[in-house]
Structure 1
Amino acid sequence: MLNKVSDSVYYLSNQDDKERPALGLVCGDKYSLIIDAGNSPQHAKDFLAEIGKLDLPPVKYAVITHAHWDHFMGMNEFGATIIVNRRTNELLQEWQTFTYDDSSLEKYVSTNRMDAKCMEILKEEMPDRDSFKLDSPDIIFGNTLTIDLGNKKCIIEEITSTHTDDATIVYVPDEKVLFLGDSGYGKTTNSLFHIQQSLLVPMIEDIQKYDAEMSLLGHESICDSAEMDLYWKELKSASQAVISASLAKAEEKFRVENKREPSDNELFFIKAFVNDQIIQSQ
């Protein structure tokens, strides 16, 4: 079931048990645009089935927010013009060379070219894939791109991100809705989950220049501006407490500066920034 944000903006909720991110939909008078294509062809088909229940303009465009498999593996299903930034296009080129039979998938996992969860999902949801090939994107943009769906504009921009180096966001100005993909998350390097401290403030500045009343991160429910402001505030307060690879010192610095204990979220972020200090020192 699609969640209705406004008469022209919808999203399909994330499903953590199936590694499915939230998928967005923006509708103009003439066309519709989707944000992210799902983690498998079946995920995309489920999304299209929900879209088909409503009287909406045809899907003409699909924006891929970044080149992580759970956001693009369903893109062949839409028959849409696929839009990516330059870096995402570079990263997708490897996936376009892949073959997807069982033995190939197992080889990619064993050589760390594919996540084991991706293989599991594809085997479960796409049994007939011996001849499957991932399509190539159609529009490759740099910096920003504006798409007019018919009295409904979408601003597509590549931004700094603590999650990937190819993050794209989509803003709908007259709705004040912002689709963030996974841009506001951290990442795992050398088995350590971390948030890149040096990129935090530039990322937040890139995002907060948009006047967004509602924002959607890829693995959350939609958030209003107060909830997002709190999220950024907690990230910044946690980052300011971390100046070394010592978790104990960071926690103490947080207590002194804020005159309180860190919340559960802030403690999680502090640990992620400490891990970043560890990784940067290696």
Structure 2
Amino acid sequence: MAEAAPALVRVTERVWLWPHHPDPDRVQAGIGVIAGDDGCLLVDAGHSPALARRVASALGGAGLPRARTVVYTHHHWDHVWGAQEWGVPVVAHELTAEALRAEAAKPWSEAYLRAETARDPRLAPSYGARSRAMAADGWDAFRIVPPDETFTDAHRIRLDGVTVELQHVGGGHAAGSTVVRVPSEGVLFLGDCSYPPPYHLREPGAGPDLALARSLLDDAYEWYVESHDAPRRHAEAKAALGG
């Protein structure tokens, strides 16, 4: 049976979301879209070039302007492997840049995935998902795109009609984790910042960083958008965190 085509979901007047895939084996993070009058800022690039092309087509179908900038919430593959398809400047925290330079130097291919999984079987879920994500394009032209611009603590990007604020929050999932605020829209993109470390790095008993998640609750924001969950309104997010 063919899979139903997903579509952009409108969160607020200027904020849209390409939703995450509900099957965790796909490891497909959502992609945020912040629409300025002069172009869109993307929160993460997608887990593959093929996915990036689908989202780019959906932007046009929704009457949105083309992408102007990509912001990485962190360096993990399901957030950055589509970047080569966008062909626009990328902004990220300096620790994300450092990690991606190391990732870009690896010889990504099916053979490499197999060899690394044999070396550490805990990589199998992630590396199997990478293989499936890249099936449409293959590896010959694939490249990881490190950011063009980095920051340390905070950064602001102004689009025509909307301002976007980036804040480094770190955490156990990825040292470079960044949240993306859209104050005028009351939307906060959380990335994966409060999630446990990746499976192959996770110690027994590791769980979500609830203290970090609670620290980001703010009455000024109505929408909280994680990369692998549906958007939550403020009251729902507060209740989920025991607030």
Q: TM-score range by the shorter chain?
A: 0.7 to 0.9
**1:224 — aligned with what?**
233
Following superposition, the deviation at residue 175 of structure 1 comes to: 0.5
**2:33 — aligned with what?**
25
Following superposition, the deviation at residue 34 of structure 1 comes to: 0.5
CA distance in 2, matches of 1:124, 1:202: 32
Percent identity reads 25
Cα gap change, 1:138 to 1:210, in 2 (>3 Å): farther
Matches within 5 A, 1:38-117: 38-112=46-120, 115-117=123-125
**1:192 — aligned with what?**
204
Describe the superposition over 1:249-276 as per-residue Cα deviations: whole angstroms up to 9, x where unpaired: xxxxxxxxxxxxxxxxxxxxxxxxxxxx
CA distance in 2, matches of 1:7, 1:66: 26
Cα gap change, 1:180 to 1:130, in 2 (>3 Å): same
Following superposition, the deviation at residue 233 of structure 1 comes to: 1.7
Following superposition, the deviation at residue 35 of structure 1 comes to: 0.6
Q: Which amino acid aligns with 2:62?
A: L
**1:16 — aligned with what?**
22
Following superposition, the deviation at residue 191 of structure 1 comes to: 5.2
Following superposition, the deviation at residue 208 of structure 1 comes to: 2.6
Q: Tell me the matched-pair count.
A: 231
Q: Does 1:201 align with 2:207?
A: no
Question: RCO greater where, 1 or 2, for CA within 8 Å and sep 6 or more?
Answer: 2
Structure with greater Cα Rg: 1
CA distance in 2, matches of 1:214, 1:129: 37
**2:3 — aligned with what?**
none
SS of the residue corresponding to residue 60 of structure 1 reads strand
CA distance in 2, matches of 1:113, 1:148: 44
| Worse overlay, 183-192 or 129-138 | 183-192
Following superposition, the deviation at residue 214 of structure 1 comes to: 0.6
CA distance in 1, matches of 2:65, 2:157: 15
| Worse overlay, 159-168 or 87-96 | 159-168
Following superposition, the deviation at residue 210 of structure 1 comes to: 6.8
Q: CA RMSD in A?
A: 2.3
Match of 1:175 among 169, 178, 185: 185
Following superposition, the deviation at residue 109 of structure 1 comes to: 2.9
Cα gap change, 1:124 to 1:66, in 2 (>3 Å): same
Following superposition, the deviation at residue 221 of structure 1 comes to: 0.7
- The gaps in structure 2 that reach 5 residues or longer are 1-6
Q: Does 1:157 align with 2:161?
A: no
Richer in helix (by share): 1
CA distance in 1, matches of 2:195, 2:128: 23
Describe the superposition over 1:183-212 as per-residue Cα deviations: whole angstroms up to 9, x where unpaired: 12223445525137xx6435532x135721
State TM-score, norm by structure 1.
0.75
Describe the superposition over 1:24-77 as per-residue Cα deviations: whole angstroms up to 9, x where unpaired: 000111121011111222222222121121221221111111121111111111
